[in-house]
Amino acid sequence: MLRRLRSLPLSLVALTLALAAPASAAPPLHRLVGSVVMSAVATAPKPSFLAHVRDGDMGGVIFVGHSWSSSAQLAAVSGELKTAACAGGSPLLVAVDQEGGPTRRLPWAEPAASARVLGGTSAAHVETEARAAAAALRRAGVDIDFAPVADTQLSARSFLGDRTFSSDPTVVGRLVAAFVRGLQAGHVAATAKHFPGLGAATESTDDHSLSVYRVRLDPFRSAIAAGVQLVMISNASYPNLDPSDRPAVFSYPIATQLLRGKLGFDGVVVTDALDAPTPAAATHAPARAITAGADLLLYTSAAAARRGYESLLADAQAVPLLRQHIAAAAARIQALKDWLGASC
Task: Answer yes or no: are the C-beta atoms of 109 and 188 closer than 8 Å.
Answer: no
The pLDDT of residue 155 is: 87
The pLDDT of residue 50 is above 90: yes
d(C-alpha 301, C-alpha 140), whole Å: 21
Cα 292 off chain centre by: 15
Identify whether 9 is part of a domain: no
Could you tell me the CA-to-CA distances from 305 to 3, 177, 338 in Å, in that order? 30, 31, 24
Predicted confidence (pLDDT) per residue in 171-207, tens digit: 999 999 999 999 999 999 999 999 999 999 888 776 6
Q: Please tell me the total count of domains within the chain.
A: 1
pLDDT of residue 206: 67
What is the structure's pLDDT at 17? 40
* Average pLDDT in the chain: 92
Whether residue 8 lies inside any domain: the answer is: no
Q: What's the average model confidence in pLDDT over 95-109?
A: 94
pLDDT at position 12 is 34
pLDDT single digits (tens) 262-317: 999 999 999 999 999 999 999 999 999 999 999 999 999 999 999 999 999 999 99
Q: What is the pLDDT of residue 113?
A: 97
In a domain, 44, yes or no: yes
Query: From CA 118, how far away is CA 164, in angstroms rounded?
Result: 9
The rounded percent of the chain whose pLDDT value lies above 70 is 92
Residue 320 resides in a domain = yes
* pLDDT class of 208 with cuts at 50, 70, 90: low
- pLDDT-based confidence at residue 19 (cuts at 50, 70, 90): very low
Q: Which are the contacts of 225, defined by CB distance < 8 A and separation ≥ 6?
A: 177
Average pLDDT over residues 19-37: 76
pLDDT, one tens digit per residue, over 228-260 is: 999 999 999 999 999 999 999 999 999 999 999
CA–CA separation, 325 vs 298, rounded Å?
Answer: 17
pLDDT at 15 over 50: no
Contacts of 102 (CB under 8 A, 6+ apart): 114, 162
- Confidence (pLDDT) at 136: 97
Residue 9 scores a pLDDT above 60? no
Q: What is the pLDDT of residues 210-220, one digit of tens each?
A: 889 999 999 99
Is the pLDDT reported for residue 2 higher than 70? no
Query: In this structure, what CATH number is given to the domain that contains residue 95?
Result: 3.20.20.300
Judged against a pLDDT cut of 90, whether residue 111 lies above it is answered with yes
Strand, coil or helix: what is 228? coil
Domain span including residue 245:
31-340
Does position 25 have pLDDT exceeding 70, yes or no? no
| 23 belongs to a structural domain | no
**What percentage of the chain carries pLDDT values higher than 90?**
85
> Residue 207: its pLDDT value, please?
62
Residue 43 pLDDT > 50, yes or no?
Answer: yes
Q: Is residue 10 part of a domain?
A: no
